[in-house]
Amino acid sequence: MLSVDKIHASFPTTRLRRNRRYEWLRRLVAESHLSVNDLIQPIFLCDDPRYTEIPSMPGIYRLGGQRLIDYVGEIDQLKIPAIALFPYYPKEERQENVVSMLHRENFLCRSIENLKKHFPGIGLITDVALDCYTIHGQDGLVADHEILNDETNALIAQYAVTQAQAGADMIAPSEMMDGRVGVIRHALDRAGFEKVGILSYAAKYASHFYGPFRDAVGSKTCLGQADKKTYQMDPANANEALREVALDLQEGADSVMVKPGLPYLDIVRMVKEAFKVPTFVYQVSGEYAMLKAASEKGWLDYEGCMLESLIAFKRAGADGILSYASAHTAEILKRG
């Protein structure tokens, strides 16, 4: 029989489980924290008072008219700081001459103006990429099967000013054209919108996780079998992300984003450690849809897995998270 002294000598003196014993203690020693202040809710807009659920994104709708106002009212009550707006145009309404769609009276700009009037305290973040408007579904202008860089920049800079005139608080260019941030910054400043911020999709990868989003904005059928690999980043590359972020910051970006989220936590960490600037991450449509589909099959606990995924972004260094689950997550956090 072992003596007491020998038993004690075999025990570890450091027992990490002691700090996990009680719920109150786990809260005290938690290294990363998720709060409603970390959340941004993306919203799909349509020029229709009815609302339509997106089949590949259960619980997410295209909204217009009073239903949009009612939904953003719920977001406001939950104290979510900001929303990101994306318009939906069906294929038959898209035009070869995309310039004709990017005017002050289009329904995105009308929605911005209306939302700013009703909810002046909510941040309105808007995108200027052209995939929501083009007949081919690409993020930029196309000629001879090539995505045009500088011509696209000139057009989206004009559209950024148009959105700022409507009341957008922050422009979030996602099309990954070289030099776009500098062109947009110059255009905004020249038009008197030097206070409008730029949240750059600085490290946006050519990912397969965007499928449900393309359903939501109507670009999937337009894109067909084409891809966006000539301008979005190769998933194999990490150091290139640091070059992209550095260039966007030099051109005047106020904050940067990594997209997608969970498969690119290493990039979030690298960007935050290298630049120490406001760093956002986008939990994209495919990430959301996977958790939803698995939970509907009874294979996963949706709320638990969602919270785990979001806290992973905070642990990696993200300051803010765009997630389709932001509203639901805010409700969970409110429950405690």
- Over residues 261-287, the pLDDT tens digits come to 999 999 999 999 999 999 999 999 999
Proportion of the chain above pLDDT 70, given as a percent: 97
Residues facing residue 322 across a β-bridge:
40, 282
pLDDT score for 6: 62
Strands 39-45 and 82-87: parallel
For residue 10, the model assigns a pLDDT of 65
| DSSP assignment letter at 139 | S
Q: What are phi and psi of 71, to 5 degrees?
A: -65, -45
Look at residue 190 and tell me if it is in a domain.
Answer: yes
297 is catalytic: no
Domain count, the chain: 1
Q: Is residue 76 part of a domain?
A: yes
Length of the chain: 336
Residue 88 structural domain: 33-257
Is residue 314 domain-resident? no
* pLDDT at residue 300, as a whole number: 97
pLDDT of residue 320: 97
Query: Tens digits of per-residue pLDDT, 2-55?
Result: 566 666 666 778 899 999 999 999 999 999 999 999 999 999 999 987 788 999
pLDDT for the residue numbered 90: 85
In a domain, 179, yes or no: yes
Per mean pLDDT, which range of 41-45, 67-71, 89-93, 251-255 is the poorest?
A: 89-93
Q: Tell me if 105 is assigned to some domain.
A: yes
17 within a domain of the structure (yes/no): no
- CB atoms under 10 Å from CB of 291, counted, come to 23
For residue 57, pLDDT over 80 is answered with: yes
Confidence of residue 96 (pLDDT cuts 50, 70, 90): confident
Task: Name the active-site residue from 6, 116, 117, 204.
Answer: 204
Contact predicate 284/260, CB 8 Å: yes
Is 116 catalytic? The answer is: no
| Model pLDDT, residue 2 | 58
Kindly report the CA angle at 150 between 144 and 154, in degrees rounded to 5? 115
Q: How confident is the model at residue 113 (pLDDT cuts 50, 70, 90)?
A: very high
Active site residue: 6, 116, 220, 259, which one? 259
- pLDDT beyond 60 at 1: no
Burial letters for 91-122: b for 16+ Cβ neighbours within 10 Å, e otherwise?
Answer: eeebeeebeebbeeebbbbebbbbbbeebeeb
**328 three-class SS:** helix
Distance (Å, whole) CA 61 – CA 84: 14
Q: By the 8 A CB rule, do 295 and 305 touch? A: yes
CATH number for the domain that contains residue 96:
3.20.20.70
Report if residue 5 sits inside a domain.
no
pLDDT tier at 218, thresholds 50, 70, 90: confident
Angle at 87 between CA 262 and CA 47, to 5 degrees: 145
